Amino acid sequence: MKKGSIKKYLLCILGIILSIIWISPFYLVLVNSFKTKKELFTSTLGFPKKMLFSNYKQAASDLKLGESFVNSVLICIISISIIIIFSSMAAYALQRVKRKSSTIIFLGFIAAMLIPFQSVMIPLVAEFGKIKMLNSAGIVFMYLGFGCSLAIFLYHGALKGIPSSLDEAALIDGCDRFRTFWLIIFPMLKPATVTVIVLDMMWIWNDYLLPSLVINKEGMRTLPLMIFYFFGQYTRQWNLAMAGLTIAILPVLIFYFLAQKQIVKGIVSGAVKQ
């Protein structure tokens, strides 16, 4: 057997092993969500003898699924929309205006990506509390601040692959800067936009710490917050806890698999184009 073929088979085997390791937690959560409490502890790895969809019905009821799901969706949609609008325009201005100050500001955004949230969360919450912004509007504003750095980085890199001659042609034809960007440039940034949407959706949808500090009130809680309280209530009923966890992760998994091709395109265009 040729050396190249041996290497190919070894990489294939390694890929299979890594895939099994990666998917095993999802398998455990899914199969155990359909079991009884007794069956879960006696046969954790096996398939359920009978599919108990009643686990999901009870989990959805106790999670207040309709309320918490709507809260999470609204916060995700509004936050991501605002991040895309402001970050794309900021990246456009920073990339097209060839000044030293533009480079300094862009590097400032990149440096902000290195600041951990834990280092600023106490003063941030304290200041927002003073202006009575510890609510859904406040958390959207915070997500804009924490999410715009990565979005600007991706858009800035993608804009390098779009020639500025398009802007000049549009301006000659009588189109102002605002319409030039939204009607001509922004549609060409689709891969970067989809990447920002998916990355920010996974981050915001799964975020627990910031909502727990800002909107931890009855009727305003997001799905991760409800899952936290749900796990506390069902510590000994892991079958119900697994059903609740499956409900929480399913939407973002579906969205990720539908958009994964665009993620790769967006990251490549945002990172390597010069």
Q: Which residues contact 172 (CB under 8 A, 6 or more apart)?
A: none
Q: What is the pLDDT of residue 274?
A: 42
Global pTM reads 0.82
Per domain, the residue ranges of the chain are 54-271
Burial class (CB in 10 A: 0-12, 13-18, 19+), 182: middle
Distance CA 214, CA 124 (A): 10
Distance CA 192, CA 167 (A): 19
Q: Which of 235, 232, 86 is nearest to 155 (CA)?
A: 86
Average pLDDT, the chain: 86
CB 252 within 8 A of CB 39: no
Distance CA 84, CA 260 (A): 18
pLDDT (tens digit per residue) in 207-257: 988 998 888 777 888 988 888 887 776 566 788 888 888 888 888 888 878
Q: What is the pLDDT of residue 263?
A: 66
In words, the CATH class of domain 54-271 is: mainly alpha
Q: Which of 53, 46, 19, 21 is nearest to 31 (CA)?
A: 46
Low-confidence ranges of the chain (pLDDT < 70): 1-4, 233-236, 262-274
Q: What is the pLDDT of residue 233?
A: 64
